[in-house]
Amino acid sequence: MRDEIVAAVKAAGVVGAGGAGFPTHVKINASVDIVIANGAECEPLLRADQHIMAEQSTKLILGLKTVMLATGARQGYVGLKRKYEEAVSNLQREIIEMSENTIQLFFLPDIYPAGDEQVLVYEVTGRIVPEGGIPLQVGVVVANVETLVNVAHALEGKAVTDKYVTIGGAVRKPVTLKVPIGMKVQELIDLAGGSTVEPYVVIDGGPMMGKVIDPNSPVTKTTGGIIVLPVDHSLVTTKNTPWQMIVNRAKAVCCNCLACTEACPRHLLGHSLEPHRVMQAIGKGQIGESEIYSRAFLCSECGACDTYGCTMGLSPRRVNAEIKKQLTKQGIKNPQHSKPQQVRTNREYHLIPTKRLIARLGISTYDVNAPLSAQEMIVREVKLHLSQHLGAPAIPIVKAGDNVARGDLIAVIPEGASLGANLHASISGQIVMVDNNCIGIRRV
């Protein structure tokens, strides 16, 4: 049974919809005792996952059951927040109607980052994922709720062609839409009534971990939110700060107050990551302190340290990210693999309430509903990146001039690649462009 499920998920091109795009057929080809559906949606302003849980509750539970069957798991959980009232009601009804005594809802605290898979695993199971490890090492598989809906669709032979996306921030009508993958982000902003500010910046993802992108960029399999902000907003300024300025500030300003470390979710789980020590080492020019620097590998880059912890405008997150890049270029791998037996004794006092985070970020004005629209998307043209996932880019099997139907396979996993994902046409039309990066389709 596992082989059939894995094959169907692989054929459909399912990847992690809420993170880096890890190929799902690889993740579920394992043996665990618990599967967790991640419905935390801890990034401020994003609403897509809660709408998916409410509108696609049947498919979500079917997808969760399918992954439990593939992995041999005895227990399944949907991790979500109690405030998602419609989702809670619909999921509870589905569980009762399906007589599923192996699946239950788990109500998470309204904190950031409750959706970090290591935080989620601890909250739901009490198990601590080892340093530099993954949930599989403690007998758990975590999958985003949209990913599980796509798993259910895969068993019906339906490929991944659409993405649920929240468009929020400085737009006239914040909304959540189901759109074809490859649709231009600017078109989404227009569907949300356009920007209320000029000029503006677009963030792909949430305000904490999202990246600044060009409005002409296409939606991908991992796009969960599009946030529009004024160009001079503090969040935008922080994300656009040059690296040299980041490191100069770290050397000149950091007073080692420990606030960044006390806010770090991985440190609070018992991991040896201490952002203030990395900052201290940079300030003292201790470039040779490999043991200190290698702890940067444990950073999830959630931003709790700089956006919430530091009051001096420093960015331990950016420092950790750069150190990881430099060490990786030198061929150095993460040597930190300790297995904490318990979380920090003061952890509960350092958890970050979502409302307080929103206020700290200066985005309370934008914390409004973004209802799910039933509007049918008629898109003239899409641009599909060949790399929307971890692993090797997909290899095109079509050429310019070919006609394709929505759902047709247009690019495949390279032969011999350990990680990769198939790619399918998200609209019907004609292939107008194929290069090393993407495939363009125009409706005819």
pLDDT tens sequence across 297-344 = 999 999 999 999 998 889 999 999 998 998 889 898 899 999 999 999
139 with 198: CB under 8 angstroms?
Answer: no
Instruction: Give the model's pLDDT for residue 204.
Output: 96
Instruction: Give the model's pLDDT for residue 287.
Output: 55
**376, burial (CB in 10 Å: exposed 0-12, middle 13-18, buried 19+):** exposed
Q: Which residues of the chain have pLDDT under 70?
A: 285-290
Helices (H) and strands (E) in the chain, counts: 16, 18
- Please choose, from the candidates 320, 319, 327, 322, the residue with its C-alpha nearest in 3D space to the C-alpha of residue 249: 319
Helices 145-155 and 2-12, packing angle to 10 deg: 100
Amino acid at 128: I
Amino acid at 285: G
Instruction: Give the model's pLDDT for residue 18.
Output: 85
Q: Which pLDDT tens digit goes with each residue over 237-277?
A: 999 999 889 988 888 888 889 999 999 999 999 999 999 99
At CA 378, angle to CA 372 and CA 380, rounded to 5?
Answer: 135
Give buried/exposed letters for 196-213 (b at 16+ CB in 10 A, else e): eeeebbbbbbbbbbbeeb
- Please choose, from the candidates 239, 230, 225, the residue with its C-alpha nearest in 3D space to the C-alpha of residue 303: 239
> Cα(179)–Cα(163) distance, rounded to whole angstroms?
5
Helix (H, G, I), strand (E, B) or coil at 230: strand
188 with 207: CB under 8 angstroms?
Answer: no
> Cα(182)–Cα(348) distance, rounded to whole angstroms?
42
Instruction: Give the model's pLDDT for residue 290.
Output: 66
